[in-house]
Amino acid sequence: MTAEPLVKKVSKRYHPLGLTMISNRALAEIVAHLGRVAYCDGFVAGLSSAQWAALRYFFRANRFSRTVSAFADFHATTRGTASQTVKSLVSRGYLKRTRSRRDGRSITLDLTDAGLAILAEDPFEALVGAVGHLPAEARIDLATTLDAMMKEVARQRGKRPFGTCDACAYFAADRAEPAQECRCRCRLMEEPISAEEMAQVCVNYVPALGFVGDDAAVGAAERPAQPRLRDDRPDDRSY
């Protein structure tokens, strides 16, 4: 039996008349409403929704992406607004500033022990739990659908999408012999990638045209042009 299309599953659950058809606008409104509900109104544990969003971002971002400018890009906000949010979290002891080991100029931001502890009270966990109650097949369908939607919105607005290393064109897995342990690295940053970092969000992500298992898997014509590294912006150096 084939899986029921995700749109039909959503329409049956949420459409007030129980119809199996739903307009593009109505479905988009469901997605937007879900986001608003997940963020919650007002303060939770003394933090605003913007502050919670920042803590979540810096928890999920890889070491190349924990900057004010990357956070601003990810949440489609201004760098000034992002900077104020970050400063408030630094002053409360939830984030700490560290000089980048790559150039010694830009500032990276990491969660402190207090920041990691406060995430246990994140109101977003209600949405995480709701996703966890979905069948595995539905989660895969939902992930595929939402990823496609995010990429299309980013394309329409001229924004580059964020993503993870395993689906990035810069990802490389070096293995001299089949029995040897796979060593992963980023071609752009010329840095090794740990297993933990594979699932973290990267600001320099470029969608791969297909699965990339080693250097030979991507020809020169398929490799993206070298972008300006997003962890080296003037506002990150002066923050």
In the numeric block, which tokens belong to residue 220?
């020169």
Tell me, yes or no, whether 175 lies in a domain.
yes
Give the lowest-confidence range in 65-69, 94-98, 182-186, 212-216: 212-216
Tell me, yes or no, whether 234 lies in a domain.
no
More confident residue, 141 or 37: 141
More confident residue, 2 or 103: 103
Question: How far, in Å, CA of 171 to CA of 183, rounded?
Answer: 11
More confident residue, 223 or 131: 131
Average pLDDT across the chain, whole number: 79
Tell me, yes or no, whether 83 lies in a domain.
no
Tell me, yes or no, whether 107 lies in a domain.
no
Is pTM beyond 0.75 here? no
Question: How far, in Å, CA of 208 to CA of 206, rounded?
Answer: 6
Look-up of token digits 């008349």: 17
Tell me, yes or no, whether 179 lies in a domain.
yes
What is the extent of the structural domain holding 171? 165-227
In the numeric block, which tokens belong to residue 155?
């394309």
Tell me, yes or no, whether 23 lies in a domain.
yes
| Structural domains counted in the chain | 2
What values do phi and psi take at 202, rounded to 5?
A: -125, 135
